[in-house]
Structure 1
Amino acid sequence: MSQRRTLLLVAVVALVALAGCNGAGNAGGSADMERADGGAAVSATAAPEATSSGGSGGSGGDASVQANVQNRALIKTGTVRVEVDDFQRSKSNLTAAVAGYGGFVSDTTQERHGVGNETYTTGRLVLRVPAEDFDALVEDAKAEGDVEVVQTNTEDVTDRLVDLEARLENLRAQRDQLRDLYEQANTTEDVLAVQRELSDVQGEIERLEAQKQSLEDRVAYSTLTVELREPRPTPNRVAPDRWYDTPVLSAFLQSVDGVVVVARALVVGVAYALPYVLAFVLPVALVGGVAYRYRERWLPHQ
């Protein structure tokens, strides 16, 4: 019994070590392939510069570089904010455009706001379209009204996908070997030990497969978030039909405003009149005062 457990433990350890070696080999192979591809691309782009004619060699180098770029896994996302005249009409237009591209609307939000007796609508659409139609959808969104914000982003996830695939291959090989050990186990303890390892490996495989599937889905279908907003209306104050319909507080405040206006008008009127007083009235008053004093002093009293 002890010898069998020892052999089983040695087999599991050897299996893990073998999986690690395979992972390192695959990772190294992937890195070597990427370096080789990169070297080929650099050589292809450098060839036209090295030759003076630049004929067919230059065309071949450009084609290689373009093919290398097209093989990259790119996730495209973007945001467009537009002020539109009619929210519902713009929403219908964009929904139809997405359907025409073979995409779909993944999320929508809509909110109605009130300003006085007027209302306006704002909302957001999350649109998913094939990656090759992303730029066309951005232009469709911009054509709906006055563009306020346009933001796009591209993320290269090629290396992440390559790494996930290499790890999945190693884990699948490890799972197959654990299944063989499970079939060969004779005791309950050995069966449970291998089963635990097999469950852990299977859980890791499912987790990595979900990550890989999510990345591939985001690469295949780009995401554009479109924010639509109708213009905010300006509230209009409606005056009461009769003066006695005015609320008491409003009437008092209006009276206070009237007093302030009258006081200000008086101050402004004094400011306007003061120069005339100084220029005309004051000299006349001074002359009159001097004449009165002269008369009182020099003329005899009757």
Structure 2
Amino acid sequence: MKANRPRIRLAGLALAAILMLSLTACGSKGSGAANGAAMDSTTEAYSPEASADSGTSAPLISPEATAESSRKIIYTASVEMESTDYDATRQGILDAVAAAGAYLQSSYQYGNAQDANRSSQYCVRVPVENYSALLTSLGETGNVLSQSESTDDITASYIDVEARLSALETQRDRLNQLADQAETTADLLEIESQLSDVQYQIESYTGQLRAMQDQVTYSTVDIYLNEVATLTPTGVTFADRLADAFFGGWQAFASLVQNVFLAVVYLLPLILVAAVIITLCVVLGRRRAKRRPRRPGPMPPVPPASGTGPEATYMDPAMDDRILMPDDSPNTDSGKPKPPQTGPKY
């Protein structure tokens, strides 16, 4: 047994070297083929003839134009629509999805019918052979505002994963043969450890291939539907644009009046409660004011007595009589009377 160990190890090293060379060769060949396929895909998918119809509801990219067994292309589209009859358009979209053999991966709806502001979003997975037919049917159910499409050529990645998976499967078969030929427990455990790692990588690459194949087989179409009162204007002349602007402004004004009225009605209970509270406060305040005794106001000034005050010292020149000041007296210092006052004394 000990003599066979070097042989088993040499065989294992040789097998590992062969697998490394095969992976390198497959990867280089896959990359070259994928690059050539990617160049062809870009040329056909974005040709002038395809972009000329970008304003219509027809598909911009046709899978039939690039349907080759050696190419793996993922098709994705996004369609934005509007309609004045939301229910009919929504049902038409669902019917078109069912007719194309597609299924809804996800859907979302919000808004209500009373306000006429409903919107829907759908993520549809459609078989690639019915991709163009579904886009054409969607253009007939409602007014298409915008439509965008894109392609993703994953041929290079797909071929690379396939090559790696094939090499790992070959390595797994060889390890199984070595496990059958192992003569010691240590060699068997080492081979089984390598076999477990290889099996894990095989499952990982297998899952990647399945995911890529699912994306290639089923295209993804995102649909957005909005409910509107009037469709988006499509007039190109000045008169059409003027008429659309007038009616649009009038509708906006009517909507504003309605919203203001609804706001007043919405706040009406609060306004009534506030009015009742203010009225009660005013009534109670008046009652309290009536019950309180009135305080006496300030006393009016007492007029000065006659013969006093500044005006009593004024003498009118026209008067002949002498007006004596309060401090005047008939007594004199030298027995002589004082001369009369000829002017006001302050």
Give the TM-score of the pair, scaled to structure 2.
0.54
> How far off is 1:25 after superposition?
2.9
- Superposed, which structure 2 residues align to 1:1-302 within 5 Å? 3-30=3-30, 69-71=66-68, 72-112=71-111, 118=115, 120-231=117-228, 234=255, 235-236=258-259, 237-238=261-262, 247=272
Distance 1:247 1:36 in 2: 78
The sequence identity of aligned pairs, in percent, is 28
User: Over the residues paired in the alignment, what is the CA RMSD in angstroms?
Assistant: 3.7
After superposition, the Cα gap between the structure-2 partners of 1:4 and 1:140, relative to the gap in structure 1 and judged at 3 Å, is same
The one-letter code matched in structure 2 to 1:103 is: A
Q: CA deviation at 1:159?
A: 1.8
**Most deviating of 90-99 and 151-160:** 90-99
Which of the two has greater helix per residue?
A: 1
- Displacement after TM superposition at 1:130 (Å): 1.9
In structure 2, the partner of 1:285 is none
Equivalent pairs counted in the alignment come to: 222
Aligned to 1:48: none
Q: What's the counterpart of residue 60 of structure 1?
A: none
Change (3 A) 1:36 1:218: closer
Shift, 1:113, TM fit:
5.4
How far does residue 5 in structure 1 lie from its aligned partner after superposition? Answer: 4.3
Give, in angstroms, the shift of residue 155 of structure 1: 1.0
Distance 1:29 1:173 in 2: 18
Q: Which has the larger radius of gyration?
A: 2
Amino acid at match of 2:77: G
2:101 alignment partner, SS class: coil
Deviation at 1:244, TM superposition (A): 11
**How far did 1:35 drift?**
8.9
Cα 1:230/1:3, change in 2 over 3 Å? farther
Structure in which a larger fraction of residues adopt strand: 1
Deviation at 1:87, TM superposition (A): 4.2
Kindly provide the CA deviation profile for residues 70-105 of structure 1, in whole angstroms up to 9, marking residues without a partner as x. Answer: 323211001112223344433332222122122222
Residues 178/97 of structure 1: CA separation in 2 closer, same or farther (3 Å cut): same
Unaligned ranges ≥5, structure 1: 42-66, 251-302
2:74/2:154 contact within 8 Å kept? yes
Distance 1:195 1:184 in 2: 12
Alpha-carbon distance between aligned partners in 2 of 1:68 and 1:147, rounded to the nearest angstrom = 24
CA–CA distance in structure 1, aligned partners of residues 269 and 220 of structure 2 = 60
**Range with bigger deviation, 95-104 or 215-224:** 95-104
Query: What SS class does the counterpart of residue 102 from structure 1 fall into?
Result: coil
Whole-Å Cα distance in 2 between the matches of residues 221 and 183 of structure 1? Answer: 43
Q: Distance in 2 between matches of 1:35 and 1:118?
A: 53
**How big is the shift at 1:163?**
1.5
Aligned equivalents of 1:32, 1:191: Cα separation in 2: 39
Q: Which moved more, 1:225-234 or 1:12-21?
A: 225-234
For CA contacts below 8 A with separation 6 or more, give which structure has more relative contact order.
Answer: 1
Give the Cα separation in 2 of the matches to 1:199 and 1:84.
Answer: 58
Q: CA deviation at 1:173?
A: 0.5
- Report the alpha carbon displacement of residue 153 of structure 1 after superposing the two structures with TM: 0.5
